[in-house]
């Protein structure tokens, strides 16, 4: 089916005149007439009454389908053009929470300066998108935590930080200068949705320290730092994070307390295994270079 003929049919119906439709479409009147006749031959039915010019019942049915087909064709053109544009010069960078502390904005600034030819776009990620956004091609590279153990991705470690717990300010634990794992394992932790990847839930709940057992669960769910802090401020439960978290999320009604004997964890940059796209490789080079340069001076301990 020729979409141009469908467009012609709609133009004639909307204008109510073959000549005006021809002017609108930049066609000759004879071409417009031939388009309509060819459609009528294709469908074996009269689609337009000529005097006055109006759609027949069959023509009305076809006009509805024609509008849908033309809209779908336009959406397809736009989608393909968008994909082609991304392939040429796009880089979608996923950022979970505050990413890799000060390294995240430093990397973004340096990459934009060094590679203005790439269109850089940031995509916020929640806890359920630990690697799924990357594997589903919704982002091209991402700042996440902790480091995934997944052969489908490549991992660049950017920071290694002490762990903290985030608790309501009115809890007794909030006044402690530091705590041990034994002090936090029985806390009611804010829940994560069932679809959250296991590596992230194990990280949040200190699962290894409790021998694989599930923690006490608070009543509220959370998929991002804002929701964790809102629930904690309301006294609804505890969360955990890397130590840089408290520099990026000062939140009334909450306290961040270091867990001195918890294993330190990484924040990382992840990309798809074997991805050799120039933008991805360039971004990894910039990020790892800045990590080496700023690592020793990065504020991983709050002042």
Residue 62 backbone phi and psi in degrees, to 5: -65, -35
Choose the final residue of a domain: 69, 86, 103: 86
Angle (nearest 5°) at CA 207 between 201 and 208: 130
* Same domain assignment for residues 31 and 69: yes
Contact, 246 vs 302, CB < 8 A?
yes
The predicted pLDDT at position 258 comes to 97
* Same domain assignment for residues 103 and 235: no
* Same domain assignment for residues 80 and 16: yes
Query: Taking the alpha carbons of 217, 263, 195, 210 in that order, is the dihedral positive or negative?
Result: negative
* Same domain assignment for residues 65 and 30: yes
Angle (nearest 5°) at CA 126 between 123 and 130: 95
Instruction: With CA atoms as reference, report the closest residue to 257 among 162, 182, 185.
Output: 162
77, two tokens: 């053109």
**Is 303 a member of any domain?**
no
Residues in the chain: 303
Alpha-carbon gap, residue 38 to 181, rounded angstroms: 79
The predicted pLDDT at position 301 comes to 40
The predicted pLDDT at position 78 comes to 82
* Same domain assignment for residues 274 and 131: yes
Plot region of 253 (φ>0 → left; ψ -120 to 50 → alpha; else → beta)? left
- 46 by DSSP, 3-state: which? coil
**Is 75 a member of any domain?**
yes
Query: Taking the alpha carbons of 114, 91, 100, 276 in that order, is the dihedral positive or negative?
Result: negative
8, two tokens: 């012609």
Instruction: With CA atoms as reference, report the closest residue to 260 among 238, 243, 280, 278.
Output: 243
pLDDT in tens, the chain (303 residues): 788 999 998 999 999 999 998 898 888 999 989 999 999 899 999 999 988 999 999 989 998 998 998 889 888 888 787 666 555 568 999 999 999 999 999 999 999 999 999 999 999 999 999 999 999 999 999 999 999 999 999 999 999 999 999 999 999 999 999 999 999 999 999 999 989 999 999 999 999 998 988 888 888 899 999 999 999 999 999 999 999 999 999 999 999 999 999 999 999 999 999 999 999 999 999 999 999 988 755 654 433
Instruction: Using DSSP bridges, classify how beta strands 141-144 and 153-161 pair: parallel, antiparallel or unpaired.
Output: unpaired
**pTM of the predicted model as reported, rounded to 2 decimal places:** 0.69
Burial environment of residue 72 by CB neighbours within 10 A (0 to 12, 13 to 18, 19 or more): exposed
Domain count within the chain: 3
The predicted pLDDT at position 77 comes to 86
Choose the final residue of a domain: 51, 86, 121: 86
The predicted pLDDT at position 144 comes to 97
**Is 302 a member of any domain?**
no
* Same domain assignment for residues 169 and 247: yes
Alpha-carbon gap, residue 188 to 78, rounded angstroms: 48
* Same domain assignment for residues 55 and 97: no
The predicted pLDDT at position 83 comes to 66
Angle (nearest 5°) at CA 242 between 286 and 268: 30
* Same domain assignment for residues 77 and 114: no
Alpha-carbon gap, residue 288 to 112, rounded angstroms: 15
Choose the final residue of a domain: 60, 86, 112: 86
CATH of the domain at 130: 3.40.190.10
* Same domain assignment for residues 181 and 154: no
Write out the residue range of the structural domain in which residue 114 sits.
Answer: 89-159+265-297
155, two tokens: 């991992």
**CB atoms closer than 10 angstroms to residue 136:** 9
Residue that is written with structure tokens 């301990």 in the block: 301
* Same domain assignment for residues 138 and 270: yes
* Same domain assignment for residues 94 and 240: no
Contact, 165 vs 184, CB < 8 A?
yes
257, two tokens: 């307390």
């Amino acid at each position: 089916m020729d979409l141009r003929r469908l467009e012609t049919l709609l133009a004639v119906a909307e204008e109510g005149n073959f000549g005006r439709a021809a002017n609108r479409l930049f066609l000759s009147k004879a071409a417009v007439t031939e388009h309509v006749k060819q459609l009528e031959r294709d469908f074996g039915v009269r689609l337009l009454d000529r005097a006055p010019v109006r759609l027949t019942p069959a023509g009305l049915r076809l006009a509805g389908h024609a509008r849908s087909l033309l809209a779908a064709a336009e959406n397809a053109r736009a989608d393909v053009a968008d994909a082609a544009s991304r392939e040429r010069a796009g880089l979608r960078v996923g950022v979970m929470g505050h990413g890799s502390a000060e390294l995240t904005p430093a990397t973004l600034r340096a990459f934009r300066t060094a590679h203005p030819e790439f269109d850089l776009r940031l995509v916020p990620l929640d806890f359920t998108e630990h690697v799924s956004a990357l594997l589903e091609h919704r982002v091209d590279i991402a700042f996440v935590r902790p480091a995934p153990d997944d052969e489908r991705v490549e991992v660049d470690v950017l920071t290694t930080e002490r762990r903290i717990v985030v608790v309501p300010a009115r809890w007794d634990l909030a006044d402690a200068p530091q705590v041990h794992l034994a002090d936090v394992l029985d806390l009611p932790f804010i829940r994560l949705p069932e679809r959250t990847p296991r590596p992230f839930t194990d990280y949040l709940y200190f699962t290894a320290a409790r021998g694989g057992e599930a923690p006490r669960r608070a009543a509220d769910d959370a998929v991002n730092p804002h929701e964790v802090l809102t629930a904690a401020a309301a006294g609804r439960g505890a969360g955990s994070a890397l130590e840089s978290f408290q520099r990026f999320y000062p939140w009334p009604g909450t306290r961040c307390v270091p867990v001195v004997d918890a294993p330190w964890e990484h924040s990382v940059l992840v990309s798809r295994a074997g991805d050799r796209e120039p933008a991805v490789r360039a971004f990894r080079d910039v990020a790892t270079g800045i990590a080496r340069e700023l690592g020793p001076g990065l504020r991983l301990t709050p002042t």
